[in-house]
A = this chain, B = another copy of it.
Amino acid sequence: MTERAAAGLWVGVVSLFPEMFEAIARHGITGRAVATGRVALEFWNPRDHATDRHRTVDDRPYGGGPGMLMKVDTLRAAIHAARQRAVEATGQRPRVIYLSPQGRRLDQRGVQELASGPPLVVVAGRYEGIDERVVEADIDEEWSIGDYVLSGGELPAMVLIDAAARLVPGVLGHQDSAVEDSFNAGLLDCPHYTRPEEIDGRRVPQVLLSGNHGAIRRWRIKQSLGRTWLRRPDLLEGRALSDEQRELLAEFIEEYA
């Protein structure tokens, strides 16, 4: 992996439920990326660092109250082992990410930052979270995937890894990547149609059957802009449109009214 570290993505995962990550390590685009060595995933389970008979990984909060926290010694041992291995595997110091509802909200710009930097150690929390001094001492950045409450950091970690993996060169086939790089990054997608020509009386828009590639391209840009205007106007604010895009959006709005 050392030679691949620059182009590839190395991720060390700290989690009490490493088996959950089979969802991305064994299936689909991420599964292939792992199988072909473009993405490296390694796991550290705090439970493997427990020395007591019950292999305890939780502990009570100072000040009382309901809920437990991740036990400090086993958590830190796992983070430190992952960090050391990141250096061995890639020659770089990793960025240590804690998935947390208190974190910076992930968006595609954040994914690009995370995918293009040093190797990652991602810490998935369970229970009520982790000790604040561990955040201060061992964590570089906290990230959240959205304003909803989940039962742990594993699904968020998988979301982060899946989104980042797609940006690694060679992970997407030519087909997919071409679409992603297209004009409409940051806009909603246009409607898509496939066989048959009629479904429950609904027909494919004529232009898509016309073979007129210029008209098809303009229709798609117009739909993409129009949908973004209808559903996610926030994505259009502060965004400069080209002359063509402005005209197509104006047409859409005109026809919509």
Q: Tell me the A residues contacting B by CB distance below 8 Å.
A: 17, 19-24, 26-30, 59-72, 101-102, 104-108, 110-111, 126, 128-137, 145-152, 154-155, 158-159, 162-163, 165-166, 174-176, 178-180, 188-189, 191-196, 199-200, 202, 204, 207-209, 213, 216, 219-220, 227, 231, 235
Q: Which of B105, B133, B152 has a CB less than 8 Å from the CB of A193?
A: B133
Interface pair B108/A148, CB less than 8 Å apart: yes
A151 to chain B, nearest CB (A): 4
Smallest Cβ-Cβ distance to A197: which chain B residue: B62
> Does the CB pair B145–A175 fall under 8 Å?
no
> Is B159 a contact of A207 with CB atoms below 8 Å?
no
Docked-complex contact A59 and B194, CB < 8 angstroms: yes
Nearest to A176 among chain B residues (CB) is B67
Whether A110 pairs with B148 at a CB distance below 8 angstroms is: yes
**Interface pair A199/B134, CB less than 8 Å apart:** yes
Partner of A155, one of B23, B152, B209: B23
| Complex Cα gap A231–B142 (Å) | 11
Contact of A67 among B67, B128, B149, B179 (CB under 8 A): B179
Nearest CB in chain B: distance from A238 CB, A: 14
Which of chain B's residues have a CB closer than 8 A to the CB of A19?
23, 26-27
The residues of B that contact A193 with a CB separation of less than 8 Å are 61-63, 69, 131-133
Q: B159 touching A23 by the CB < 8 A rule?
A: no
Asked if residues B194 and A71 are in contact (CB atoms below 8 Å), the reply is yes
Residues from chain B with a CB closer than 8 A to the CB of A21 are 23
A185 to chain B, nearest CB (A): 9
Which residue on chain B has the smallest CB distance to residue A180? Answer: B149
